[in-house]
Structure 1
Amino acid sequence: MEAPSFAYSASSSSLLSLRKTPLSSPRLSCFGNTKHRNFSVRASSSGDSVVTLLDYGAGNVRSVRNAIRFLGFEIKDVQTPQDILNASRLVFPGVGAFAAAMEVLSKTGMDEALCSYIEKDRPFLGICLGLQLLFESSEENGPVKGLGLIPGTVGRFDSSNGFRVPHIGWNALQITKDSGILDDVGNHHVYFVHSYRAMPSDDNSEWISSKCDYGDKFIASIRRGNVHAVQFHPEKSGDVGLSILRRFLNPKSNMTKKPGEVKASKLAKRVIACLDVRANDKGDLVVTKGDQYDVREHTNENEVRNLGKPVDLAGQYYKDGADEVSFLNITGFRDFPLGDLPMLQVLRYTSENVFVPLTVGGGIRDFTDSTGRYYSSLEVASEYFRSGADKISIGSDAVYAAEEYLRTGVKTGKTSLEQISRVYGNQAVVVSIDPRRVYVKDPNDVQLKTVRVSNLGPNGEEYAWYQCTVNGGREGRPIGAYELAKAVEELGAGEILLNCIDCDGQGKGFDVDLIKLISDAVSIPVIASSGAGAPAHFSEVFNKTNASAALAAGIFHRKEVPIQSVKEHLLKEGIEVRI
C-alpha cells in the first residue's frame, strides 16, 4: 500500500503543518497564502439544505460532518474568506488549541470574514473552541488575542478546589434566557471536553444563554440574534445534541420533551463500553475479550474469541445508552500503524451513526516503515482524529516516556504524549495503564508507592505495589502505576484509563484499592476498568473512589448486564448518570 502523503512545515505549533489531503474527504487546500481582504457579500446560491462548514484542519471534525449529513443537510467547505460571507448558515467546529486556531484564521483572512459575518447577525453556530475564539483573548499558551466580538478572557479551570481538569463528561445546563436552540435541553446532560472556559461578567451578560456549574459557573452557550455558540459538543451529545443541531439548521423544528425523565443537575458519572478489536485467523476484524488478555478459546481449534463486529456492536451500545465507546486495537499498528485501513474504516463507519465520544488506542507511536519512511506519532494520531476519533489512547509508549522523564526530569516535547497534547489539547489524550499487583510484606521493601490491600496476598501480605506493563501485559516494567500516573499527567495526559490485569475478565469487581490510589493522586479524570461483573460493582467504584467513569467490555458483549441496567442501578443508589 502506498504510504499517505503529509504536508509538514517547520512550524510545529501551527495547525497548517498538520494539514493532510486524504482522498476520502475534502480539506482546506487554499489555507496558506490567502491575502485578499476586500470582501463583498453576495446572495448565497446554495439551497436551504446546504450548510457551510469552516474546518481549519484540526481534530475530529468528521463527527460534525456526519451529524449534519445525518440530519439531511449537505455541506459546503470553506475554501476562501469569501465563502464565509456567502454562507446562508455557518458552522464553526473549533478543535485544538486557541493560539494555533487564531494563527490559521489570521494568516488566511478568515478572522476578518468571520467578524464581518457575525456582526451582520447571520446564522452562525460555533462549537467548543468556536465559542472561545469569539472572546477578546485566551490564557491558553498566552495571552493570545481572539476575535474580540465578546468581552472577556478565556481562562483555565481551577483544579485547586478538587475539580478535575480537563472537564470531561456529561454535565447539566442552566438556561438563563431564551436560547432558541436549547429549549428543554436544561433537563438533559450534554457532553463537554475542555480545559479552558469563558466566565460570565456584567460586560458579556447580554450574550449568555446558558451556564454550567463545574467548580464555578462558566459560560456554556451564547446567543445574540442569529448568532449561537456552545462550549459543549452537540455532535457528541446523542439525541439531545442532534436536536440542538436540527434547531439551528432548521429553526422551525421542535424537540418534544420525553415524560418521566430525570432532570440533569450536575456532572454525571460515565458508563463506557470498550471494544477490544483484533483480526481473527481469517483476517477479519472482530470484537474479542480475554481473561488476563488471553483472547483465544480453549478448544482444539484455539480460535480467537469472536463476540461480534466492531461497527455493529458500537452502534448497539450507542442505542443502549453508553456514554462513550472505546476501541482498543490489540493487534494492529505493530509494523505499519497507518496501514491499518480496516481500523480506520471502523472509525469512519461508526462515527456516521454513533454520536457520543469515540476513543481509539493501540500502538500509536513514532515509527519507520519498511521503506525507511519516518512517521511521527502526531501524524499517526492526526489520521485517527480525521477518521472519527475524539480521543487517542496511548499505552506502552507513554510508559517509556514516563520512565525517561522520571530518570532525567526533562520534558523533551518529542514524545507522542507531549506532541499530541500540544497540538490537540490534553483533553484529546488518554493514557492507558496496565498494571498487575506485586505483594510485599513491608512497604519499605520497595521504593515505589504501596497500598494496604483489601485482600491479602498469597502469603498473607498486607501491602502491594502495582507494576506497570507494556506490550499487552506481556512485559513488566520497573515503574509503578502511581509513579506513572503522576508523570503522564505532567507530560500532558488529559485522562487515565486504569486497567488491572489481576481483575481482567474475573467479573468480581474493580480493583478499588488501585483506583482509589490513582484517582486520589492525580487531578485529571480517571476511568476505572477491568473486573466489572454486576451493576453493584459500578456503584461501589463510584462510592469508594474518585473515578469519573467506569468501563466494561465482556459483560456487555455477552449480554450478561445491559448498560441500561447499570444506569438504573446507579440512579437508585443516588449517583447521577445520563439518561
Structure 2
Amino acid sequence: MTADKVTVSLLDYGAGNVRSVRNAITSLGYAIKDVATPGDIDAAEVIIFPGVGSFGNAMDTLEGKGYTEPLKAYLAANRPFFGICLGMQTLFESSEESPEHKGLGIIPGAVTQFDSSQVSVPHIGWNGAIQHRRSHVIDSLDKDDVVYFVHSYRALPTAANKDWVLSTTTYGEPGASEFISAVQKGNVVACQFHPEKSGGVGLKLLESFLKDRGVDGGSQAPVPVAEGVRTVLRKRLVACLDVRTNDAGDLVVTKGDQYAVREEATDGQTKGVVRNLGKPVELSERYYREGADEITFLNITSFRQEVLDDAPMLQVLEKASEKIFVPLTVGGGIRAYTDGNGRHYSALEVAARYFRAGADKISLGSDAVYAAEAYMKDAQLSGTSAIEQISKVYGRQAVVISVDPRRVYVASPEEAPTHTCLHLPHAPGPEGQQYAWYQCTVRGGREGRDVDAVQLVRACEALGAGEILLNCIDMDGQKQGFDLALVKSVMAAVSIPVIASSGAGAVEHFSQVFKETNVQAALAAGIFHKHLVEISDVKKHLTEQGIAARVVGVVDTPCASDTRL
C-alpha cells in the first residue's frame, strides 16, 4: 500500500460472501478497517457497503448495530461511499422484498421485484450498462464492457430519482423496462452489479472510485442516449471442478463420484490411484484467466463427513477467492447435521461458513430432493428446509439446486402416470422404449427416488431456490451433447434460471443448447480439464453464431441480437 492511499472502511454486517470484496480492495493496494461501532462510520475516510442477502435482514442488522442514523448522516454530508447490490438498494425508501422495513431513504423510490412472467428471476449473469451521466467512476469502462449481476429486485428510474441515475440496464426482450444499474450524486456512488465479481472490468471500476473517492470535479453532465438502446444478457459458460480427497489426503480434481475415479494400476493387481486432473485452486485460476464466467466446486465426498470439519475445502475457497474475481459456487453435503460431540449445526450455519470462505452461491443436491419430497406431500412451506433457511437470509439468488436425474424408460406414459414422461425417439431404451421419465437421485447418484426432475425443480422453486444446475447421468461423459429434451422440459416448468450440464464434447454443443432451449448458462468439466475443448474456442464459436457471450482479452464484437453492448 502506498502512503497516499486511504484506508477503506468496510461495512460488513455479517451476511454473504464479503471475502471477495476484501480481496478486490486489497488487490488494488488499499488497507481495510472493519466498521465495528457506530463511531467508526463518522471516522471513516471512505466506506464500501457490500450488501448481501435480503433487504429486511440488512436493515434489521444496521438498526440493531446502531449504524442507521450515523450512516444517514454520513451520506447526507456527501462523504465518499460505494454501495454494492443490496448496498445500493438500501439507499432507497423501501423494497417489495420486505415491505415492513424502511430503507435509508437517501434516494426517492421503492425497490420492486422483476416480473417472473416476463423474464427469469433472479437476473443472473453478465450484462451491460447504458451511461446517462458523465462520471470518472463509470467513464473508466469501455462501452462494450459487461459486469456481473445477481438479483431479484431492482429500482426503476423515475422523475423523482432522475438526478441520481448514473446508468441503466435492460433485461428481457426489446421494450422491456430498464432498471437502475448505478447511481451517483457527488461522492455517494452505488451499483446494482458486483464489481468484485466482474473480473478486470470490475476491479478497474473500483480503482477509479477509490483513487478519487467519488470526487468528480463537478462534472456529472448528461450523456445523450439514443432511442431504443438496450443491453443484452450474455450466455454464461461455467467451468465445474469435481473435488475429492485422494489416498494421500490431498484434494484433487477428478471424475464425478458416481463413476470410477481411479486410474488402472499398471501391475493389474493393486487398485491404482485416484484420477488426478489437477489441483482445484490452480485449475480454477486457469479457468478464470481463460474467461470462464463462473466456477463451480462440487465436493463429491463431503456427504460422508462432518461438513464444518472439511477444512481443506474451505481453504480451497479462501485461496481461490484471492485471485478469482468471478462468481464461485460450492456444493457437496451442505446440510444440517450433528457432530460426534452431539453439537447440532443447521444448514444455515453450514452455508454461512462457506459464504465466509468465499462462496457466492451454495449448491444443494440430496438435501434438496428430501426437501422437495416433504413439500410435495402437502404443498406447505415448513421454514425448516435448507433451501428456505438459506434463501431467507441470503436471498434466493444464493441457492442453486443441483439436479442429478437418470432416465427410467417406459413403453408409454401410462406406465408412469405420476411422472412427466418425455418422448425420446432419438435415444430409445434398451428394449426400444421411446419414452422415459427422469428419476432424481441422491448420494452422488447412488440412490434413486420416486421424484422426477420436473417435480423436483417446481418444488424447489416454491421453496425459494434461485437457480437450477441440471445434470443428466445418462449423458455425463458421453460427449454427445446436452440432453435437449430434458433441458426444454425443465425450462418450461420454472421461471428461475437454468444451467445445462452433462454431455458437452464440442463447441457446437454449446451453441446448440443455447439456440434450441434458450437456457441461460452451460457447464462443462472434463473437456476443459483435459484441453479437449478450450473455453476461448467456445466463446469464439458462440460469437460467430450470433450468440451473446462475454469474451475476455479481445474486443467483444456485438452480436446479431445486440443493439447496444
By how many angstroms is 1:291 displaced? 8.8
Which of 527, 539, 542 matches 2:514? 542
Which of 132, 151, 155 matches 1:176? 132
By how many angstroms is 1:298 displaced? 3.4
Q: What's the TM-score once normalised by structure 1's chain length?
A: 0.89
Which of 441, 446, 449 matches 2:420? 449
Larger CA deviation: 531-540 vs 110-119: 110-119
By how many angstroms is 1:233 displaced? 0.1
Which of 202, 214, 217 matches 2:178? 217
By how many angstroms is 1:293 displaced? 2.8
* Alignment match, 2:198: 237
* Alignment match, 1:569: 541
**Tell me, what secondary structure is at the counterpart of 1:159?**
coil
* Alignment match, 2:261: 295
* Alignment match, 1:379: 349
For residues 381-400 of structure 1, what are the structure 2 equivalents within 5 Å?
381-400=351-370
Taking structure 1 as reference, are residues 298 and 503 closer, same or farther at Cα in structure 2, changes over 3 Å only? farther
Give the Cα separation in 2 of the matches to 1:408 and 1:125. Answer: 45
Tell me if the contact between 1:187 and 1:264 (Cα under 8 Å) persists in the aligned partners: no
Is the aligned partner of 1:358 residue 2:315? no
* Alignment match, 2:87: 130
> What is the one-letter code of the residue matched to 2:204?
S
By how many angstroms is 1:47 displaced? 6.2
Tell me if the contact between 1:290 and 1:296 (Cα under 8 Å) persists in the aligned partners: no
Tell me if the contact between 2:421 and 2:437 (Cα under 8 Å) persists in the aligned partners: yes
By how many angstroms is 1:290 displaced? 4.4
For residues 92-111 of structure 1, what are the structure 2 equivalents within 5 Å?
92-111=49-68
Taking structure 1 as reference, are residues 220 and 75 closer, same or farther at Cα in structure 2, changes over 3 Å only? same
Give the Cα separation in 1 of the matches to 2:481 and 2:120. Answer: 24
Larger CA deviation: 289-298 vs 477-486: 289-298
Give the Cα separation in 2 of the matches to 1:297 and 1:471. Answer: 23
* Alignment match, 2:458: 486
Tell me if the contact between 1:292 and 1:502 (Cα under 8 Å) persists in the aligned partners: no
Deviation digits for residues 522-547 of structure 1 (CA, Å, limit 9, x no counterpart): 10000000111010000010011131
* Alignment match, 2:561: none
Which of 200, 211, 224 matches 1:250? 211
* Alignment match, 1:408: 378
Give the Cα separation in 2 of the matches to 1:240 and 1:552. Answer: 24
Deviation digits for residues 304-362 of structure 1 (CA, Å, limit 9, x no counterpart): 11000000001000000000000000012523100000000000000000000000000
Give the Cα separation in 2 of the matches to 1:252 and 1:135. Answer: 21
By how many angstroms is 1:434 displaced? 0.2
Give the Cα separation in 2 of the matches to 1:153 and 1:264. Answer: 23
* Alignment match, 1:187: 144
Larger CA deviation: 94-103 vs 297-306: 297-306
Is the aligned partner of 1:200 residue 2:170? no
> What is the one-letter code of the residue matched to 1:339?
D
Tell me if the contact between 2:476 and 2:502 (Cα under 8 Å) persists in the aligned partners: yes
For residues 522-533 of structure 1, what are the structure 2 equivalents within 5 Å?
522-533=494-505
Is the aligned partner of 1:330 residue 2:286? no
Q: What's the TM-score once normalised by structure 2's chain length?
A: 0.91
Is the aligned partner of 1:282 residue 2:248? yes
**Tell me, what secondary structure is at the counterpart of 2:440?**
strand
By how many angstroms is 1:292 displaced? 5.4
By how many angstroms is 1:185 displaced? 4.2
> What is the one-letter code of the residue matched to 1:563?
I
**Tell me, what secondary structure is at the counterpart of 1:170?**
strand
**Tell me, what secondary structure is at the counterpart of 2:148?**
strand
Tell me if the contact between 2:373 and 2:451 (Cα under 8 Å) persists in the aligned partners: yes
Tell me if the contact between 2:361 and 2:400 (Cα under 8 Å) persists in the aligned partners: yes
* Alignment match, 1:258: none
**Tell me, what secondary structure is at the counterpart of 2:488?**
helix
Which of 18, 21, 24 matches 1:67? 24
Give the Cα separation in 2 of the matches to 1:303 and 1:276. Answer: 16
**Tell me, what secondary structure is at the counterpart of 1:317?**
helix
Is the aligned partner of 1:496 residue 2:441? no
- Which stretches in structure 1 are left out of the alignment for 5+ residues? 1-45, 254-262
Give the Cα separation in 2 of the matches to 1:220 and 1:138. Answer: 16
Larger CA deviation: 99-108 vs 273-282: 99-108
Tell me if the contact between 1:393 and 1:430 (Cα under 8 Å) persists in the aligned partners: yes
Tell me if the contact between 1:293 and 1:472 (Cα under 8 Å) persists in the aligned partners: no
Larger CA deviation: 263-272 vs 468-477: 263-272
Which of 103, 110, 120 matches 1:146? 103
* Alignment match, 1:272: 238
**Tell me, what secondary structure is at the counterpart of 2:82?**
strand
Deviation digits for residues 88-123 of structure 1 (CA, Å, limit 9, x no counterpart): 111000001111111111222211111111111111
By how many angstroms is 1:558 displaced? 0.3
* Alignment match, 1:421: 391
By how many angstroms is 1:53 displaced? 0.6
Give the Cα separation in 1 of the matches to 2:328 and 2:90. Answer: 25
Tell me if the contact between 2:167 and 2:180 (Cα under 8 Å) persists in the aligned partners: yes
Provide the aligned C-alpha RMSD in A. Answer: 1.6
**Tell me, what secondary structure is at the counterpart of 2:304?**
coil
* Alignment match, 1:41: none
* Alignment match, 1:28: none
By how many angstroms is 1:408 displaced? 2.5
**Tell me, what secondary structure is at the counterpart of 1:473?**
coil
- Which stretches in structure 2 are left out of the alignment for 5+ residues? 215-228, 552-565
* Alignment match, 1:308: 278
Give the Cα separation in 2 of the matches to 1:264 and 1:510. Answer: 31
By how many angstroms is 1:61 displaced? 0.4
Give the Cα separation in 2 of the matches to 1:225 and 1:543. Answer: 44
**Aligned positions, number:** 524
> What is the one-letter code of the residue matched to 1:528?
A
Taking structure 1 as reference, are residues 337 and 264 closer, same or farther at Cα in structure 2, changes over 3 Å only? farther
Taking structure 1 as reference, are residues 47 and 372 closer, same or farther at Cα in structure 2, changes over 3 Å only? farther
